[in-house]
Structure 1
Amino acid sequence: HFVHHGSELIIGEGAQHLEHFAVDSNATYGDGDLQLEANASSGLAVTFTSSNPDVLEVNGTQLKVRGAGVAVITAYQDGSANYLPATELNATVTVFTAQLHAIAEPKSKAYLEENPELTFRYEGFVNDENASDLEEEPSVETAATVASPAGEYPITVSGGEAANYHFVHHGSSLIIGEGAQHLDVFEVDSNATYGDEPLQLVAESTSGLPVGFESSNPDVLEVNGTQLKVRGAGVATIYAFQDGSANYLPATELNATVTVFT
């Protein structure tokens, strides 16, 4: 007669593997989210982690760019009642710093005036950021001084530190134009008599440049340097002028009428 003895069939978890895992290898700070793609041979959902959430933060099947740097992204499937865990796959993703332009603004001034305040502006901030998000702002300077002659001088921008930006510096120019001047002294006798000694001409410009003179009637009064030679009776208008220089604009002429009596 038969005696029957039963046993068991043990069905273990099946093996699975990740057969597809794709993510961009690099991005730039300010970029939109990166897509994560992965499939498990089991059909179970794949999960992702980031080694550096301050650089790349996992949000479902996307990576949010949080800062410049490097992060290792791991794809895994932990298994289930029917599947063993899959061997993890990983990918290294680099986030590059964004380009930030520091652009010097053009300036101008007149000779011997104080230098204007040098300024620059930014182009390239992302994520609604501004200069307060920088560790150190660039500096702007010029070699021109108050006493620099009229001309064009470079304005340079340099330096700056930021975790998520690299700086591109753009220079500009400081234009120093001719300064204004005027004649603040002009003196000459208003009359003379034929036969008198030469009359003295006295004039000064605010620039310190020498003043020239001209007579409307050299047959009456002839200019000789800073003197007027009496040549005849009559009337002459004497003009004082300063024509300017590389650093100064011309001054407004002054004039005086001188009568030479017989």
Structure 2
Amino acid sequence: MAAAVTLGFVIGGLNALTPRVALSASVSSAVSASKHAVTTSTTKVGGKSYLRVQVTSKYGTSKKFTVKQRVCVKSACRTVTSALSIKAGRTAWQGIYLGTGTYKKSGVPSVSVTTPKPAPSASAPRPTATATIRVTETVTVTTVATVTATPTVTVTATPTATPTVTVTVTQAPGSEALCGAPTNSYGFTFCGTGNGVPAPAQNACDVFNCIASFDDGEGYLVMCNDQMVSLSGGIEGACSSHRGVLRTIYRTAA
């Protein structure tokens, strides 16, 4: 009865490893000891080879089994290692992929058994580390400087524009006879048929706007380009400050 159970387990394990695929080769070997049984075999499925390692533990506590099996394909050999942790009285197996081609075992497997370290108990007290921290207080002194600002007043002088005086002479009715000169009772005219008016040219400033230096003139009466009248006609520099001489002013014959 025990043999039948073991055979059924092996067949079922191989089928689980490669479901619905026929096995092309299977070679097994067993290593037994008083406390455990180890079986290894090579299997080829679909052109790929596997190593199956099965371990039955007879120990009363959990054990870790390390199984090393040498395998060869053609003339190349290597050692394959399998590690299984098995509870007391249980059986476990592991399938290891070897590669393509047909692998064969070489010799019997070597087995080492160790006892896993127990997990630390949750109730076990954990050591408490005591650290002594020294606090050194550092005082930072910040000096604040007070700056007193002295306002600077900048005075920008605005240049004074010199107004340009434009004199418009409105001709009174009858001025056509004077060739555009203002109507006057002193005979002043712009017509060249009259006589030149030499200094002192009295009453000229009653009819025209005379320049400031009119009385210093020693020439004859002329009108400058800015419509001011000068008595420096015929003298070099006449009306030089008034854009030059525009015309000579005449007086009709008495």
- TM-score bin (small chain): under 0.3
Larger radius of gyration between Structure 1 and Structure 2:
2
Q: Give TM-score scaled by structure 1 length.
A: 0.22
Q: Give TM-score scaled by structure 2 length.
A: 0.23
Larger % of helix: which? 2
